[in-house]
């Protein structure tokens, strides 16, 4: 699949991936923020987006939100607490491992997740890379 063509030699670099058959080819940082911060429930093309997040305390989660919005995990959790209290959004699904994320991406065409580039499989499509 084309996903391998986008990979760099930085195997520990975080990338954002979707199901390999997704019609979403690329996302901007703003679009990712909108999806992961609960502002939008759809990809820009209108199809449903189901964001997957790592568990609280994981290095990937800390790095992702620092790269995405420049905020600590504690500030992200406080942000979500306010949103959930207001009833305005639904928190991303949680995953406890790379294997769980890979499985969710294989089974759910609307899934979107962040993982290390080394863990991208042929069933995934990279839609965003952090610089």
Cα 65 to Cα 71: distance, rounded to the nearest angstrom: 6
**Predicted pLDDT of residue 54:** 93
User: Which fold, 3-129?
Assistant: D-Maltodextrin-Binding Protein; domain 2 (3.40.190)
Domain ranges of the chain: 3-129
**Whole-number mean pLDDT of the chain?**
88
* Mean pLDDT confidence for 109-121: 94
Q: Tell me 41's DSSP state.
A: S
**Predicted pLDDT of residue 99:** 94
Cα 84 to Cα 81: distance, rounded to the nearest angstrom: 5
Cα 35 to Cα 51: distance, rounded to the nearest angstrom: 7
Q: Where are the alpha helices (DSSP H) in the chain?
A: 3-6, 29-36, 59-69, 73-86, 98-107
Band of pLDDT at residue 82, cut at 50, 70 and 90: confident
Cα 67 to Cα 64: distance, rounded to the nearest angstrom: 5
Q: What is the pTM of this model?
A: 0.86
């Amino acid at each position: 699949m084309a996903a391998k063509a986008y990979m760099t030699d930085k195997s520990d670099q975080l990338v954002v991936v979707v199901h390999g058959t997704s019609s979403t080819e690329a996302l901007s940082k703003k679009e990712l923020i909108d999806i992961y911060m609960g502002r939008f429930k759809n990809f820009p093309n209108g199809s449903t987006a189901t964001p997957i997040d790592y568990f609280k305390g994981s290095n990937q989660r800390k790095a992702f939100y620092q790269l995405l919005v420049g905020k600590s995990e504690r500030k992200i959790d406080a942000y979500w607490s306010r949103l959930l209290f207001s009833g305005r959004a639904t928190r991303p699904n949680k995953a406890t491992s790379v294997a769980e994320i890979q499985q969710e991406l294989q089974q759910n065409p609307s899934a979107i997740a962040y993982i290390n580039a080394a863990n991208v499989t042929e069933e995934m499509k990279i839609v965003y890379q952090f610089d």
